[in-house]
Homo-oligomer: A and B are copies of this chain.
Amino acid sequence: MPFIELSNVDLIYGTASQDAASQTLAVSSATLAIEHGEFLAIVGPSGCGKSTLLKLISGLVQPSRGTVTVDGKKVVQPLKTVGMAFQNATLLPWRNIRDNVMLPLEIVEPYRSRQKIDRDKHRQAADVLLEKVGLAGFGDRMPWQLSGGMQQRAQLCRALIHEPSILLLDEPFAALDTFTREELWAVLQDLWSFRKCTVILVTHELREAVYLAQTVHVMSARPGRILKSSVIDIPRPRTLESTFEPGFVDLVHDLRHHIGLGKQQ
């Protein structure tokens, strides 16, 4: 039995009491099985329901039809074991960057109970992560003092710090330049192979999807369905050089083609 399973999930935004016109069918009969420790990428046209899918898996949103199960249990409330990076960097404006990154440690066990004792250790962990994403020295800044890309990186740290077993990343690198982005690919790949957590990555960069993921799922235009799932069998560890190899480029082109098909529908 798969670790995460979506069976025939529909999601309709807008309450039942509203008129049908203002309701939106965002995700339609999505079916997906994700193994423990899998690295998954989801691609699809803008507005097709990718972010919604992540929210369904994390339990932030309850399906209108069908069920989501994680680890054999039906998801009826937000999971406690996910790390989530949202599409818009939602840093808390009243905390500095370091305190923002440390937020999960104040909520999630076992860190929470050891908060007082491990205060310094936690600070160090945050600073180490910040350095990894190129934000060394920005821990004391407030969120609005950071550029868009820097905020996004800080948010990534927040999603990672409590070492969640499921990592849900919604276009985590969208605001980054190519170099920073590729550096973070490596960081993420290392992390995943080391920790063996389950990662679901939403992205628009097909190279990113192919570089990082074991499976890439293509979603159709709204209402989003899974159109196609490609298994990426490029050996690991993948390097930037791999991305220029013909096999890689072919895979990217193939995905591109399918997204194009999905969009036209």
Contact = CB atoms under 8 A, between A and B. Distances in A.
Interface of A: 13, 22, 24, 43-47, 49-51, 87-88, 134, 141, 145-150, 153, 171, 174-181, 204, 206, 256, 259-260, 263
Contacts of A174: 174-175
Number of copies: 2
B47 A147 contact: yes
A50 B150 CA distance: 13
Nearest to A146: B47
A15 B243 CA distance: 45
Contact of A204 (B150, B153, B178): B178
A171 B148 contact: yes
Most B C-beta atoms less than 10 A away, residue of A49, A150, A180: A180
B146 A177 contact: no
Chain B CB count within 10 A is highest, among A13, A46, A147, A206, for A46
B206 A178 contact: yes
